[in-house]
Amino acid sequence: MPSDIEHYQTIPVGPLGIVALDSCREMGKVVDSYISSWRRERQHEHASNIAFAGYEKDSYLIDACTPRFGSGEAKGIISESVRGKDLYILVDVLNYSITYTVCGQVNHKSPDDHFQDLKRIIAAASGKARRINVIMPFLYESRQDKRGGRESLDCAIALQELTQMGVENIITFDVHNQCVQNAIPLKGLETVRASYQYVKALLKTDEDIIIDKDHMMIISPDVGGMQRAVYFANVLGLDVGLFYKRRDYSRIVDGRNPILEHEFLGSSVEGKDVFIIDDMISSGDSMLDVATELKNRHARRIYMASTFGLFTNGLAKFDRAYEQGVFHKILTTNLIYQTPELLQKPYYVNVDMYKYISIIIDRLNHDSSMSSLLDPVDRIHRVLGKHKQALSEIE
């Protein structure tokens, strides 16, 4: 149970309700289990107060679905009352494992399909919920966040659509560009990072790892991710390095300008463990190029970490690179769909985020502060202190 009980002394906004869409069924079950367990154990003097009616339940999951017609059209159905509830809708727009049939042909759900299903469930609530919150780990269309020429601003439009339908809070993780918050300045858009969970997973993966500036270094694979790398470096007390992607802007290949060369800016990585941090691994070409460059500079163990592991071109190239010793481990979260193949890889480390999401929902239901969750410096320092003490006892 979360130790900071002071966050849960306020009256809940409303009875808690969780809708886990098809893309987030597993996440929804785990989150529901955590919250119901915590609330059974939580003791407070107002338990019998009418404001806490329905506070302690075996399950907060609400039965909802988005069935399809044979033509591929769909509708949203909520099978129980949501009147007065503080509603949390969980959706993974990148879960391509979900399929549906169109005129006898099997289609995999795209991000567009998942986003439409989300809107259908919001519409099915028909304005009866006291508050609607959306937990969308990968923000829909977040890479289309700015306009270059005659282009659509898909992310901004999507955010405005949701808030116009009545959504009060949108919780997302490691958004590609935080400036998208400007699209809905009067509504809640919280972007959370998995910094603490990365550190915990890293320390469990290799117990002999030494986190100080003489033995480890943080690397940003591009200029855009430098703020993320600097945050890690400051919290962990490490040096930071940067790779600059020199692209060919005269042509477009597979929707992007091809990278001509990675140029490194930073001190020597020789003999050091290296932690490469980015928001997502898409095809993986860029991350593997950076890892290869670092290995050529005689880095020791190379950890590649990303909030979202998309692996859009499969895992074969990662298998080859691992066999060649290019990298040591890959760390990504379970915020989006993970293939069974990925989970079985010897180099893969799954960074579990379900408990973190449970705490976020539990706190928001009490309308409590999120500050300590959004900036987990104290928790990171505590776990680092325990690790250093364990290392000193071994020595």
Instruction: Answer for the pair 276, 254: CB distance below 8 angstroms, yes or no.
Output: no
Instruction: Answer for the pair 133, 170: CB distance below 8 angstroms, yes or no.
Output: yes
Measured CA to CA, the distance from residue 114 to residue 23 in angstroms comes to 8
What pLDDT does residue 1 have? Answer: 55
- Per-residue confidence band for 358, with pLDDT thresholds at 50, 70 and 90: very high
Mean pLDDT of 334-363: 94
Measured CA to CA, the distance from residue 346 to residue 322 in angstroms comes to 9
What pLDDT does residue 2 have? Answer: 63
HSE-CB of 13 using CA atoms within 13 angstroms: 22
Choice between 47 and 73, residue whose per-residue pLDDT is larger: 73
Measured CA to CA, the distance from residue 156 to residue 144 in angstroms comes to 9
Which two tokens mark 150?
């005659």
Measured CA to CA, the distance from residue 107 to residue 76 in angstroms comes to 19
Choice between 319 and 226, residue whose per-residue pLDDT is larger: 319
Total length of the chain: 395
pLDDT tens, position by position, 51-76: 677 778 899 999 999 999 989 899 99
pLDDT tens, position by position, 11-29: 888 899 999 999 999 999 9
pLDDT tens, position by position, 152-194: 889 999 999 999 999 999 999 988 878 888 889 888 898 888 8
Q: Which amino acid is at 89?
A: I
Does position 373 have pLDDT exceeding 80, yes or no?
no
How many C-beta atoms lie closer than 10 Å to residue 306's C-beta? 26
DSSP 190-213: EEE--HHHHHHHHHHH-TT---ST
Q: Say which DSSP state 258 is in.
A: P
What pLDDT does residue 46 have? Answer: 62
- Per-residue confidence band for 91, with pLDDT thresholds at 50, 70 and 90: very high
Q: In this predicted structure, which of 37-41, 100-104, 249-253, 288-292 has the lowest mean pLDDT? A: 249-253
Measured CA to CA, the distance from residue 295 to residue 287 in angstroms comes to 12
pLDDT tens, position by position, 109-135: 999 999 999 999 999 998 889 999 999
- Per-residue confidence band for 394, with pLDDT thresholds at 50, 70 and 90: low
What pLDDT does residue 89 have? Answer: 97
Choice between 293 and 54, residue whose per-residue pLDDT is larger: 293
Instruction: Answer for the pair 164, 346: CB distance below 8 angstroms, yes or no.
Output: no
